[in-house]
């Protein structure tokens, strides 16, 4: 789904503009909306990545670079973060400089669906809360597969809908009121937060996403549900 169905512009253009417009408040609101859990989830991505001892990592849809900065703790690893939103990258670059990590983390403008890297370039690819914003999900995943080395690992963090019917009821109740409310109080861009909530409900999570990953060239897909299934980490091998 597009952030605004009534505009003719492509989903990609709308997503780029939307994240440009919320880049300054993004980190703060992410923390509020996940009750600070996003930090824990990103640390989990780091632990999974570290266990594969990667030297080259691509963080797709890196945004303000929280995941890239977490991955920079892996000894001798070089991280490239790419994103289509220049304003999100600007916030990220300031954090990289502040942490004195410019030799380890490089942030570049780049589209997940058309990556400028050769086949088999990376040991690990990570994508945090990015895939549901892709214009063409399969194309983005196939590109991730292409740039991964053989046996390389893809780690995706994404919202999901809880399987349990009771938990799902409370999840809908909460997400349909709390996320748009927080967006309307703390941001001028109310529509962006309505889109983020609705796209989370619509995104094919769990088994459906596993089968999409398999169709895009990945094997051994493992799913780790977090926060009662409201978020999941998917780990897949090329």
Ligand X SMILES: C[S@@+](CC[C@H](N)C(=O)[O-])C[C@H]1O[C@@H](n2cnc3c(N)ncnc32)[C@H](O)[C@@H]1O
Applying CB under 6 A, the residues found at the interface with ligand X are: 12, 15-16, 19, 30, 60-63, 66-67, 82-85, 88, 111-113, 128-130, 133-134
Minimum distance, C-beta of residue 61 to ligand X, in the bound complex (Å)? 3
Sign of the torsion angle spanned by Cα atoms 28, 114, 214, 68: negative
Residue 72 structure tokens = 């920079």
Minimum distance, C-beta of residue 27 to ligand X, in the bound complex (Å)? 8
CB 61 within 8 A of CB 129: yes
- Which of 64/104 has CB closer to ligand X? 64
- Which of 108/207 has CB closer to ligand X? 108
- Which of 84/216 has CB closer to ligand X? 84
For 37-76, give one letter per residue: b (16+ CB within 10 A) or e: ebeebbebbbebbbebebebbbbbbbbbbbbbbbbbebee
- Which of 87/170 has CB closer to ligand X? 87
Minimum distance, C-beta of residue 68 to ligand X, in the bound complex (Å)? 8
Q: Which residue is nearest to ligand X (CB)?
A: 63
- Which of 43/163 has CB closer to ligand X? 43
Minimum distance, C-beta of residue 160 to ligand X, in the bound complex (Å)? 15
- Burial label, 116 (beta-carbon count in 10 A; 0-12, 13-18, 19+): exposed
CB atoms closer than 10 angstroms to residue 12 = 17
Residues in the chain: 238
Minimum distance, C-beta of residue 169 to ligand X, in the bound complex (Å)? 25
């Amino acid at each position: 789904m597009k952030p605004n169905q009534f505009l003719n512009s492509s989903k990609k253009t709308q997503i780029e503009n939307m994240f440009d417009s919320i880049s300054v408040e993004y980190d703060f609101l992410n923390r509020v909306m996940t009750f600070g859990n996003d930090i824990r989830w990103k640390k989990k991505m780091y632990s999974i990545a570290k266990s594969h001892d990667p030297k080259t990592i691509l963080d797709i849809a890196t945004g303000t670079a929280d995941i890239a900065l977490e991955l920079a703790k892996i000894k001798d690893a070089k991280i490239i973060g790419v994103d289509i939103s220049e304003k999100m990258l600007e916030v990220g670059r300031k954090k990289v400089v502040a942490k004195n990590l410019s030799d380890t983390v490089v942030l570049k403008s780049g589209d997940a669906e058309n990556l400028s890297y050769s086949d088999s370039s990376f040991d690990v690819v990570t994508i945090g809360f990015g895939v549901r914003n892709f214009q063409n999900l399969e194309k983005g995943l196939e590109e991730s597969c292409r740039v991964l080395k053989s046996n390389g690992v893809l780690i995706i963090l994404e919202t999901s809908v809880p399987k349990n019917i009771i938990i799902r009821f409370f999840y809908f109740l909460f997400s349909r009121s709390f996320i748009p409310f927080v967006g309307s109080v703390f941001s001028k861009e109310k529509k962006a937060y309505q889109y983020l909530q609705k796209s989370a409900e619509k995104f094919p999570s769990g088994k459906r996403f596993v089968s999409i990953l398999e169709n895009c060239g990945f094997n051994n897909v493992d799913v780790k549900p977090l926060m009662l299934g409201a978020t999941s980490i998917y780990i897949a091998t090329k």
